Amino acid sequence: MNDNIYLIGFMGCGKTKIGKILSKSLAYEFLDLDIHIQNLEKMSISDIFDKKGESYFRKLESKVLSKTSNIKKTIVSTGGGIIESKENKIFLKNTKTFFLEVPFQFCYKRIIVNTTNRPLVKEKSFYQLNMLFKKRENIYRECSLLSVNNSRKAYIVLQDIHNYLNKT
């Protein structure tokens, strides 16, 4: 198991925010996989979906995720759909992965503000997104060492993660 820490959860659950704060508290680097993919492809996630398709994006996402095993001391914020791939689930189960858990309504309020970079939001209704959330929720738990309630203040969420890391 490498020393990186992976944050998973539904879009809008706060992976990037918590990841940046956690990286500072641990003196780790921070890597947002979606931003990294956008930089590699020189286009937005939405454009990748539109021009190359979701299947292309998911394969690229898996490739980029597997390459994170070559870096050290990094907090990796993943995309919400990272757990759609069997190989990604296996990868995450063998790392220090934390599921940032929040109610769907919390995520939905955050994601509707910025739909331009979230292709699934443009394609799906509230009901469909809620069903996707429910489908993924148990998979996130399955792939993580710990589910952390991210509906609380950031310092409490960090404290939960730090406490878990200090036990191991």
The 10s digit of each residue's pLDDT in 4-44 is 999 999 988 999 999 999 999 999 999 999 999 999 999 98
Any domain includes 168 = no
The answer, yes or no, to whether residue 91 has pLDDT greater than 90, is: yes
Domain count, the chain: 1
Q: State which residues form the domain around 58.
A: 5-163
Quick check: is 13 in a domain?
Answer: yes
In a domain, 136, yes or no: yes
Nearest CA to 59 out of 32, 26, 37, 29 is that of 37
Q: Does 130 map to a domain?
A: yes
Specify if 129 maps to a domain. Answer: yes
Identify whether 65 is part of a domain.
yes
Kindly tell me if the per-residue pLDDT of 123 is higher than 70.
Answer: no
Number of H helices, E strands in the chain: 9, 5
Cβ atoms of residues 81 and 89 within 8 Å: no
Residue 13 tokens, joined: 């659950």
Does residue 13 contact residue 19 with C-beta atoms inside 8 Å?
Answer: no
Report how far Cα 121 is from the mean position of its chain's Cα atoms: 16
- The reply to whether 99 falls in a domain is yes
CATH number at residue 48: 3.40.50.300
**pTM for the predicted model, two decimal places:** 0.92
Residue 81 covered by a domain: yes
> What's the pLDDT tens digit per position in 127-136?
888 999 999 9
In order, the DSSP letters of 78-140 are PPTTGGGSHHHHHHHHTSEEEEEE--HHHHHHHHTTT-TT-HHHHH--HHHHHHHHHHHHHHH
- Predicted confidence (pLDDT) at residue 151 exceeds the cutoff of 70: yes
